[in-house]
Amino acid sequence: MGLFKDLISIKDLTREEIDHVLVTADAMEPLAASGSDMLKGKILASLFFEPSTRTRLSFEAAMLKLGGSVISITEPRVSSVEKGENLADTIRVVENYADVIVLRHPLEGAARLAAEFSSVPIINAGSGAEEHPTQALLDLFTIFKNKGDIDGLNIALMGDLRYGRTVHSLAYALSNYAVNLYLVSPRLLRMRREIVEDISGKIKVEELEDVEEILPELDVLYVTRIQKERFPDLEEYEKVKGSYKVDLNLLSKAREDLILLHPLPRVGEIAPEVDSTRHAKYFQQTRFGLITRMAILALVLGAVD
């Protein structure tokens, strides 16, 4: 057994454990180029009951880079889920075929439930609007690689802080470090109250609507897409869509060494003209996603300590 059996919520990890993932990811970087047989004979099952590009492909590529194999359900309509099989039963079947299960599911709590039924590790690749812990780890790794440290930074999360699961996990992850955290969103998309309450006991948190108020101070600006698919009422979505955008004009007010992150996909929050600036790190972030997920798999499967 590795550092942790399952990876369900970022809240289950201590700062020491998070730091250990980052250090392990750093050590994985050469293996992303050379490949390895560290996980030879191991099978990863990826069960994705919601759309995904980066998360599924990077987990599968990470497994292959480490010499393991992959089986997957990416199209629930062609699996027994379409026949009404419940998640617990699906997990009790798939655990017989795989050494680790990566699960993305539209319901909050789905990954936790799966872990209760599974004898093999469950990695949460997105549980509804709730959490996306492996994204938070790769986000931290990207910050760490660019800035050399996480402590002491001024970091803003901007966008859909209400329905965006990546920012939920990232806010909890960052609360382990000595950062100043700015939560920037229209009122309608403010961070869930329980998260603000949980983290503001640990770090300085400020909520605001206009990023320009703090932009010149920022080391990291993390932008997210408005999660249209999670709005119960599309009229509410219409009110906030297009309410923030990062372009060259805005960035002219930022520090030279500001880094701009985004979990992707973007749908207009970052103008393409920004891509060629020194601020843009969102494609590098996807590469670090591969490395971080190699580390997570190696740790969960006990191939590294």
Q: Residues in the site for ligand NCD, rule: CB under 6 A?
A: 54-55, 126, 132, 135, 165-166, 224-225, 227, 263-264
One-letter amino acid at 177 equals: Y
- The nearer residue to ligand NCD, 95 or 126, going by C-beta atoms, is 126
Question: Residue 263 Cβ, how far from ligand NCD at the closest point, in Å?
Answer: 4
Question: Residue 54 Cβ, how far from ligand NCD at the closest point, in Å?
Answer: 5
Q: Which residue out of 55, 90, 142, 224 is catalytically annotated?
A: 55
Chain centroid to CA 147: how far?
A: 19
* Known active-site residue 55: yes
Q: Which residue out of 20, 56, 65, 132 is catalytically annotated?
A: 132
* Known active-site residue 5: no
120 — phi, psi (to 5°)?
Answer: -105, 160
- The nearer residue to ligand NCD, 62 or 303, going by C-beta atoms, is 62
Residues 6+ apart with CB under 8 A from 178: 151, 152, 203
- The nearer residue to ligand NCD, 118 or 166, going by C-beta atoms, is 166
* Known active-site residue 162: no
* Known active-site residue 74: no
Chain centroid to CA 71: how far?
A: 22
Question: Residue 298 Cβ, how far from ligand NCD at the closest point, in Å?
Answer: 21
Instruction: Spell out a b/e string for 159-181, using b for 16 or more CB atoms within 10 Å of the CB, else e.
Output: bbbbbbbbbbbbbbbbbbbebbb
Question: Residue 126 Cβ, how far from ligand NCD at the closest point, in Å?
Answer: 5
243 and 227 Cβ atoms separated by less than 8 Å: no
115 — phi, psi (to 5°)?
Answer: -65, -30
Q: Which residue out of 5, 11, 54, 255 is catalytically annotated?
A: 54
- The nearer residue to ligand NCD, 38 or 274, going by C-beta atoms, is 274
- The nearer residue to ligand NCD, 192 or 255, going by C-beta atoms, is 192
Q: Which residue out of 14, 77, 83, 193 is catalytically annotated?
A: 83
Query: Which alpha helices (H) appear in the chain, and where do they start and end?
Result: 15-34, 54-65, 87-94, 110-117, 133-147, 165-174, 193-200, 234-240, 248-251, 282-300
55 and 47 Cβ atoms separated by less than 8 Å: no
Instruction: Spell out a b/e string for 64-81, using b for 16 or more CB atoms within 10 Å of the CB, else e.
Output: ebbbbebeebeebeeeeb
- The nearer residue to ligand NCD, 68 or 263, going by C-beta atoms, is 263
106 and 49 Cβ atoms separated by less than 8 Å: yes
**Nearest residue to ligand NCD, using CB?**
263
Question: Residue 55 Cβ, how far from ligand NCD at the closest point, in Å?
Answer: 4
Q: What is the DSSP letter of 275?
A: T
Question: Residue 152 Cβ, how far from ligand NCD at the closest point, in Å?
Answer: 27
**Catalytic residue list:** 54-55, 83, 104, 132
